Structure 1
């Protein structure tokens, strides 16, 4: 591959090598225009048959964030509620109703509508992918990111999604991190520990 096609190292550093999960946030708002731009990047990431099951709820108002408090584990309360924005990454269990628009060349709706466990598995897997895209896209826009899984999914679904019927997957805190108290980076597994070459 032509090395000129690679992203510059400064971009890779921003997305991966130097990016860190913040432990606290600067007192700086995330503009709504940035959130629109963020979603416009996320929606372009690939999903199975372009199914796009993820649904994102952006909590930026103090009242909205406070509503989340009882669902958070104790260790996540301060980091989450102090973040300028908390994103609930969720999925629509009947995402397949959009497939005639999202994947019109083949009739795929019946694949999922007739097999709810398959639909649930597909929705969870692909919404997780889309949440991962959000992390990378947010970093590309200069935001810092703290993904969280310590919360009560059933409570979040009841508090936020009774009308929509969506199911929460995980949380992403967004903002501008305080770089002063990051600490040392934790270890990562070496290639030989995490990968097979077959």
Structure 2
């Protein structure tokens, strides 16, 4: 049986948390953004690869660079969110393995020249880190609105012209407007989504 504190935590992270489409006019500070990353970085990744790269767009000028890449339905909610995060992944993550995975001195060689392995490792673990970002934001009392609906090539060209870093998804962060939350959609039952073998 869960104690009250545990039940409240699960509500905050999962059961009552919602994806937000509208935002209150309440800022997210630089200190909150730093605290958000400081929690996110502790989520596990394979071999501590940590390929995610986060670009926190806060100013109108920064968001203006993103707008041409957005689907029309994502423009207003991005403009009104205090922060829009470009959740990306670095395909040259393995260059940092000597520092991040020091007990395996030749860890870089596992990836050198293996483009399929590089891509799958970077995308998979970067996606995990994007999910950790959402949970960390909720734990800190912030709301999230993760999004697809954008032109990835335009974002990559604008924000990551070197070609090694690529966008995965976008996530608006702030204090959600409860009046603009959609009705919760159904979820799959255990019997549909899971197998016990």
TM-score range, shorter chain: over 0.9
1:71 correspondence with 2:86: no
Structure 2 residue runs without a partner (length 5+)? none
Q: Distance in 2 between matches of 1:61 and 1:174?
A: 13
Tell me the CA shift for residue 124 of structure 1. Answer: 0.5
Q: Secondary structure at the match of 2:184?
A: coil
1:113 correspondence with 2:106: no
Q: Secondary structure at the match of 1:8?
A: helix
Runs of 4+ in structure 1 displaced over 6 angstroms?
none
Q: Secondary structure at the match of 2:87?
A: strand
Match of residue 29 from structure 1: 27
Tell me the CA shift for residue 36 of structure 1. Answer: 0.3
Q: Deviations over 1:17-43 (max 9, x none)?
A: 000112210001100100100001010
How many residues matched?
196
1:145 correspondence with 2:150: no
Q: Deviations over 1:121-148 (max 9, x none)?
A: 1000000000000000000000000001
Greater displacement, 108-117 / 179-188: 179-188
Q: Distance in 2 between matches of 1:193 and 1:128?
A: 24
Q: Distance in 1 between matches of 2:115 and 2:79?
A: 35
- Counterparts of 1:39-54 in structure 2, within 5 Å, are 39-54=37-52
Greater displacement, 170-179 / 71-80: 71-80
Match of residue 87 from structure 1: 85
Match of residue 101 from structure 1: 99
TM-score for both structures, normalised by structure 2: 0.95
Structure 1 residue runs without a partner (length 5+)? none
Q: Distance in 2 between matches of 1:173 and 1:47?
A: 23
Q: Distance in 2 between matches of 1:167 and 1:8?
A: 37
Match of residue 170 from structure 1: 169
Tell me the CA shift for residue 165 of structure 1. Answer: 3.3
Q: Distance in 1 between matches of 2:152 and 2:180?
A: 30
Cα-Cα RMSD: 1.6
Match of residue 186 from structure 1: 185
Match of residue 159 from structure 2: 160
